[in-house]
Structure 1
Amino acid sequence: MIKKIAIYGKGGIGKSTTVANLSAVWGSDDLNCLVIGCDPKADTTRTLYGKRIPTVVNTLRDNRNPEKEDLVFQGFKNIQCVESGGPEPGVGCAGRGVIVAMKYLEQLGIFDDDLDVVVYDVLGDVVCGGFSVPLREKYADEVLIVTSGEYMALYAANNIVRGVKKLKGNLSGIVCNCRNVDNEEQIVNDFAEKIGTHVIGTIHRSNLIQDAELDAKTVVEKYPESAEAQEYRDLASSIMHNENVSTPEPMEDEEFEEFFHS
């Protein structure tokens, strides 16, 4: 059975880093993994492929009938990498690129391949029709939310929960991507409990992760023996063996303010 996961979170919270490193773990475990970046920045797969790859949107603009090899690029451990892409900033709907990309990939039969894991890196703007596509169109079976203990990250996470509930999605847990906030892990654990889920794993802040990214690599590839790589392995294992899936219950805005300032 294919594991199909949509990973959401506030912009800049570390979704792409999380997606790439998790995929590097699964690829290293000989799983056939497909990663689809659904962010207009198109940088999800950079550390898996070693550089930026052409996006589906840009490729379709130049070639109306691209083949699979024009859109899907083999990265680290044969991980299949795709970037949906989008319009230039201020020129159109960013989420539209996701819709166009997913429909064309489906047309090419990419999802019919012998896959073990499909991971979507998705912006937290679930009110946008494009960014809700993985859930709304059932490309993904479960959702993970990446957050830190910071106010805006948790506020965005609560809004994502609202979207997941509306779309009748399954929330598999919260990933705590630490930013060294006071009592951060406790705050994120309390938040998870409040919305009816759990923290599925914690990634501690480390310069080693950024160092690997500067070299266009995941920490799993560049520093496989590091404690940081082990944290991603532990997270990957927790996700694969997780049975704690729930329909989340978001907090109302006033309740969230009270929670955060308590």
Structure 2
Amino acid sequence: MSSKHIAIYGKGGIGKSTIVSNLAAAYSEDKNVLVIGCDPKADTTRTLVGRRIPTILDILKEKKGAQEEDVLFQGYGNVMCVESGGPEPGVGCAGRGVIVAMKLLENLEVFSQDPEVIIYDVLGDVVCGGFAVPLRENFADEVYIVTSGEYMALYAANNISKGIKKLKSNLGGIICNCRGINRELEIVEEFAHRIGSKVIGVIPRSELVQESEIDAKTVMEKFPESEQAQKYRKLSSAILDNQGFVIPEPMGADEFDEFFRGFQ
């Protein structure tokens, strides 16, 4: 089977990094995996490596001739990890790190080593050119949006789907990262239906996530036999086997508000 190049988008703070790191750990049980953190917070790979790793932008500030061993770090399950990084808050373009990172990884021929699964963790600020790079430059073949049933998370998901449509990218589905609100799955399923997609996975709220992250570990590593770990394995299989891709049809502002008010 050819390699999977997956981009995971979503509103900041919605739990993308937790899902990406646990997905990577699930895939690592029988595949070679590369994770590329494209969020300026640079925290995607902390639970895989057990610590924060230097970002590409930080490394390039110190040395011009960065090599593979400077930017690529091995994590749990032999997952290879990269963080693009970003500027200090309030200084410069947050997406610039993604552009610089992709160019460097190409130059170092990291992609030509052909990992079986590449996962990009991307902030949902699609108005920024840097965050569109994984899609616009064809680094990722398929996109998944993480959301809860909350208004702002869904509003961001709808905006992200506008960016996906503009770039004519393949939306593989919506991942519901539950916050425990009333009628949550029903809301997210209706949202997915409205934009022409589907819910591909449901991750329940779990205290095991917090317990694992305190130890800088994934749930897959700390609680591998747990029900929560099985949810990540199930999601990883659903994404691996997915054949149902669409170019989404996002809602307009009035339609979106009408949709959400229907659940009040």
- The structural deviation recorded for 1:53 is 0.3
Is 1:32 matched up with 2:38?
A: no
Partner of 1:3: 4
Partner of 1:195: 195
5+ residue gaps, structure 2, are none
For 1:93 and 1:185, locate their aligned partners in 2 and report how far apart those are by CA, in whole Å. 35
> Deviations along 1:5-42, whole A, 9 cap, x unmatched?
0100000000000000000000122x010000000100
- The structural deviation recorded for 1:114 is 3.0
For 1:207 and 1:215, locate their aligned partners in 2 and report how far apart those are by CA, in whole Å. 13
For 2:181 and 2:65, locate their aligned partners in 1 and report how far apart those are by CA, in whole Å. 49
3-state SS of paired residue (2:115):
coil
- The structural deviation recorded for 1:127 is 1.1
3-state SS of paired residue (1:122):
strand
Partner of 1:117: 117
Partner of 1:247: 247
3-state SS of paired residue (1:131):
helix
Give % identity: 65
Q: TM-score, normalised by structure 1?
A: 0.99
Equivalent position amino acid for 1:179 in 2: R
For 1:96 and 1:47, locate their aligned partners in 2 and report how far apart those are by CA, in whole Å. 24
Equivalent position amino acid for 2:134 in 1: P
3-state SS of paired residue (1:87):
coil
Partner of 1:50: 50
Partner of 1:83: 83
For 1:199 and 1:183, locate their aligned partners in 2 and report how far apart those are by CA, in whole Å. 15
Equivalent position amino acid for 2:26 in 1: V
Partner of 2:153: 153
For 1:244 and 1:181, locate their aligned partners in 2 and report how far apart those are by CA, in whole Å. 28
For 2:103 and 2:136, locate their aligned partners in 1 and report how far apart those are by CA, in whole Å. 13
For 1:230 and 1:213, locate their aligned partners in 2 and report how far apart those are by CA, in whole Å. 17
Partner of 2:172: 172
For 1:115 and 1:22, locate their aligned partners in 2 and report how far apart those are by CA, in whole Å. 15
For 2:54 and 2:244, locate their aligned partners in 1 and report how far apart those are by CA, in whole Å. 37
Partner of 2:20: 19
For 1:102 and 1:126, locate their aligned partners in 2 and report how far apart those are by CA, in whole Å. 17
Equivalent position amino acid for 1:75 in 2: G
For 1:150 and 1:185, locate their aligned partners in 2 and report how far apart those are by CA, in whole Å. 11
For 2:29 and 2:157, locate their aligned partners in 1 and report how far apart those are by CA, in whole Å. 30
3-state SS of paired residue (2:217):
coil
TM alignment of 1:223-238, pairs within 5 A? 223-238=223-238
Q: TM-score, normalised by structure 2?
A: 0.98
For 1:8 and 1:46, locate their aligned partners in 2 and report how far apart those are by CA, in whole Å. 18
- The structural deviation recorded for 1:91 is 1.1
Partner of 1:162: 162
3-state SS of paired residue (1:250):
coil
Partner of 2:130: 130
- The structural deviation recorded for 1:176 is 0.2
User: Which of structure 1's runs of 4+ aligned residues deviate more than 6 A?
Assistant: none
For 1:114 and 1:123, locate their aligned partners in 2 and report how far apart those are by CA, in whole Å. 24
Equivalent position amino acid for 2:174 in 1: I
3-state SS of paired residue (1:77):
helix
- The structural deviation recorded for 1:215 is 0.3
- The structural deviation recorded for 1:153 is 0.2
3-state SS of paired residue (2:126):
coil
For 1:65 and 1:94, locate their aligned partners in 2 and report how far apart those are by CA, in whole Å. 23
- The structural deviation recorded for 1:80 is 0.3
For 1:90 and 1:189, locate their aligned partners in 2 and report how far apart those are by CA, in whole Å. 36
> Deviations along 1:36-73, whole A, 9 cap, x unmatched?
00001000000000000000000011010011000000
